């Protein structure tokens, strides 16, 4: 990450856009910059250490456009997972990535929000309606489906990526 911070500091036209030194990543998260000279596109890996998704390894791509912080970052899950708030294409349903985004929010807010989705999936605002129905109507069945999908199994005929560490 050091090289990315250096790249940030050497790009005066982007001052104020993003301060990577402010990212407070816990032990369950890490960032990767595929191109160290491009701090606007990076990956975040979350490895939950509690909850139904414990033991999984989930990668998200972040794309930050030139209008940040006025526009939220574009965030996608890179694996196909069984989650009420992440659809099969990797789109993420997180209110601060849509209508509740405000320029005062930063990347830490997004990262905390993503982490929270793995601790407390939200069935009331779903992108994956099947997963949300399971969570609402049969929590134990939902937990079984999460485990099966994380192991690379199928749920309701849909195959998922293996994400277990």
Among 29, 93, 114, 117, the active-site one is: 93
Cβ proximity of 155 and 138 under 8 Å = no
Phi, psi values for residue 151, rounded to 5°: -85, 0
Token pair 């992440």 is at which residue? 86
Query: 93 catalytic, yes or no?
Result: yes
Rg of the chain in Å (alpha carbons): 17
Question: Contact at 8 Å (CB) between 131 and 82?
Answer: yes
- DSSP-derived secondary structure letter, 82: -
Contacts of 65 (CB under 8 A, 6+ apart): 40, 71, 73, 74
Please give the positions annotated as active site: 93
């Amino acid at each position: 990450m050091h090289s990315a911070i250096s790249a940030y500091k050497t790009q005066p036209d982007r001052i104020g856009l993003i301060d990577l030194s402010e990212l407070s990543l816990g032990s369950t998260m890490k960032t990767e910059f595929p191109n160290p000279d491009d701090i606007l596109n990076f990956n975040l890996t979350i490895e939950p250490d509690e909850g139904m998704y414990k033991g999984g390894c989930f990668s998200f791509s972040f794309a930050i456009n030139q209008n940040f912080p006025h526009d939220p970052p574009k965030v996608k899950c890179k694996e196909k997972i069984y989650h009420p708030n992440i659809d099969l294409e990797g789109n993420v349903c997180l209110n601060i990535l849509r209508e509740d985004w405000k320029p005062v929010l930063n990347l830490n807010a997004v990262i905390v929000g993503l982490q929270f989705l793995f601790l407390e999936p939200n069935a009331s605002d779903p992108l994956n309606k099947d997963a949300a129905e399971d969570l609402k109507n049969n929590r134990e069945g939902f937990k079984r489906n999460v485990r099966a999908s994380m192991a690379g199994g199928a749920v309701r005929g849909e195959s998922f990526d293996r994400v277990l560490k």
